C-alpha cells in the first residue's frame, strides 16, 4: 500500500472512525472530545481519543493515543491521520502531537476535521516546519 494514493473513500472512513473514537473520549475537564484514526502503510488502522486526568499534565491527546497503540503493536509506518474535535472548528494537532507524529513520519498527511465531517488535508511537514527529528541528531 506504501505508494498507493489514499482515495477519498478511505479518507472519509478515517474521519468517520476518528469521530467514533471521540465517543470514547474522557474529557470531563475541558469538555472537548477528540478522536483520531491513524492509517499505516500496510493498511492497518489505529484509533485513539483524548484521556484527561485530574492531574492535568497526565492527560493524553487522541493523536498520541493512536500513535502509541500503533507503535506498541509494532507499526511505525504512519501514512495518514484524521483528527476530529467536538466543535464546528476543524481540529489541528497540538504541538506535542505534531512532534510525536514527526518522529515516525515527517511526510505523513493530516486530515483536520470538524464535527460535521468536513476536513482540510495538510502535510505534517507544513504543520511542523523545519521540525526537529531523528535525522537532526546525525
Ligand atoms: N486535544 C487532543 O486530543 N488533540 C489535539 O490535537 C488538541 C487537543 C485534547 C487535549 C485535551 O484533552 C483537550 O483536547 C483540550 O485541550
Three-state SS letters, the chain: CCCCCCCHHHHHHHHHHHHHHHCCCECCCCCCCEEEEEEECCCCEEEEECECCCCHHHCECHHHHHHHHHHHCCCCCEEEEEEEECCCCCCCCCHHHHHHHHHHCCCCEEEEECCCCCEEEEEHHHHCCCCCCHHHHC
For the entire predicted model, the pTM comes to: 0.96
Domain residue ranges of the chain, discontinuous segments joined by +: 8-137
As annotated, the active-site residues are: 63
Span 8-137: which CATH code? 3.40.140.10
The model's confidence at residue 2, banded by pLDDT at 50, 70 and 90, is: low
Q: Cα(42) to centroid of ligand 1, in Å?
A: 27
Q: Cα(91) to centroid of ligand 1, in Å?
A: 9
Identify the residue whose C-alpha is closest to ligand 1 atom 2. Answer: 61
pLDDT tens-digit map of 40-50: 999 999 999 99
Measured from the CA of 61, which atom of ligand 1 is nearest? 3
Identify the residue whose C-alpha is closest to ligand 1 atom 1. Answer: 61
pLDDT tens-digit map of 100-133: 999 999 999 999 999 999 999 999 999 999 999 9
Ligand 1 pocket, residue 60 CB under 6 Å: no
Amino acid at each position: 500500500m506504501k505508494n498507493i494514493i489514499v482515495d477519498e473513500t478511505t479518507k472519509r472512513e478515517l474521519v468517520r472512525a476518528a469521530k467514533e473514537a471521540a465517543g470514547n473520549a474522557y474529557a470531563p475537564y475541558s469538555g472537548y472530545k477528540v478522536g483520531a484514526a491513524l492509517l499505516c502503510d500496510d493498511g492497518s488502522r489505529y484509533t485513539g481519543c483524548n484521556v484527561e486526568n485530574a492531574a492535568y499534565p497526565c492527560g493524553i491527546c487522541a493523536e498520541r493515543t493512536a500513535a502509541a497503540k500503533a507503535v506498541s503493536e509494532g507499526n511505525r509506518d504512519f501514512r495518514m491521520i484524521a483528527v476530529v474535535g467536538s466543535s464546528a472548528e476543524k481540529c489541528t494537532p497540538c504541538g506535542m502531537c505534531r512532534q510525536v507524529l514527526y518522529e515516525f513520519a515527517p511526510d505523513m498527511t493530516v486530515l483536520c476535521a470538524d464535527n460535521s465531517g468536513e476536513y482540510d488535508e495538510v502535510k505534517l511537514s507544513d504543520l511542523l516546519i523545519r521540525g526537529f527529528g531523528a535525522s537532526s541528531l546525525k
